[in-house]
Chains A and B, each alone.
Chain A
């Protein structure tokens, strides 16, 4: 099976702009989670979607949002970008109905200037 794919891999945006990141989970996986990775804060949970519904949400401001489509693909949106949003954004998928193994994609490296 193909792994989790994320697009784009790299992105440079200007402060105040918005950005949309995309994630395609492993075939058959219905749960998609998003994480932010920074040198200072480490890996932090953003939110998780299952069957197009947000099941869990981390402690991030409302500028961070997401959605999931009927084919389980997910998008994450960040509006009004701030310099501190520069990070590696990781998507992880799992079957969703049994087991807890989450498999991560390669991430999208977002740089805000």
Chain B
């Protein structure tokens, strides 16, 4: 049973544009929602994370929007750069186990 659904599977955005990746979860017990960035040949790197008591968190060009009632959260990358081209994973957890989305391959074109 897939508990975290992520979309789109792939995304192409022009340099300087806004990249938006969406996730939806089913388990209302989840209380921690991180986003990871993964480059080829590397492990996932923690990008930004949010807890359900806030609706938005911003760190630099990266923003998480969280909608508890809809059980959805999204990652916004402002002023997208070619160096942002990577695979992005959303995740959710209650405790130690992270449940991951299926990933979004983001490509930023000049």
Chain A residue contacts of B59, Cβ below 8 A? none
CB proximity of A49 to chain B, nearest CB, Å: 9
In whole angstroms, what is the CA distance A55 to B19 when docked? 37
Q: Is A90 an interface residue (CB 8 A)?
A: yes
Contact B34 A90, beta carbon cutoff 8 Å = no
Contact B89 A48, beta carbon cutoff 8 Å = no
Q: How many A-B residue pairs lie within 8 Å, measured between CB atoms?
A: 56
Q: Which of A67-75, A78-86, A98-106 contacts B (4 or more CB under 8 A)?
A: A98-106
Q: How large is the interface on B (under 10, 10 to 19, 20 to 34, 35 or more residues)?
A: 20 to 34
Q: Is A17 an interface residue (CB 8 A)?
A: no
Q: Mark A40-83, 1 if CB is under 8 A from B, else 0.
A: 00111100101000011010000000000000000000000000
Q: Is B32 an interface residue (CB 8 A)?
A: yes
Contact A45 B102, beta carbon cutoff 8 Å = no
Contact A106 B42, beta carbon cutoff 8 Å = yes
In whole angstroms, what is the CA distance A28 to B34 when docked? 22
Q: Mark B93-110, 1 if CB is under 8 A from A, else 0.
A: 101111111110000000
Q: Which of B43-51, B66-74, B77-85 contacts A (4 or more CB under 8 A)?
A: B43-51
Contact B49 A101, beta carbon cutoff 8 Å = yes
Chain B residue contacts of A24, Cβ below 8 A? none
26 residue pairs bridging A and B, Cβ less than 8 Å apart: A31-B96, A33-B97, A33-B98, A42-B102, A42-B103, A43-B103, A45-B98, A45-B99, A50-B96, A56-B95, A56-B96, A56-B97, A90-B43, A94-B96, A100-B32, A100-B49, A100-B93, A101-B49, A102-B46, A102-B98, A104-B36, A104-B43, A104-B44, A105-B43, A106-B42, A107-B42
List residues of chain A with CB under 8 Å of any chain B CB: 4, 31, 33, 35, 42-45, 48, 50, 55-56, 58, 90, 92, 94, 100-107
Give 20 A-B pairs besides A43-B103, A103-B46, A104-B46 with Cβ atoms closer than 8 angstroms: A33-B96, A42-B100, A42-B103, A43-B89, A43-B98, A44-B100, A45-B97, A45-B98, A45-B99, A55-B96, A56-B95, A90-B43, A100-B93, A101-B46, A101-B49, A104-B43, A104-B44, A104-B45, A106-B41, A107-B43
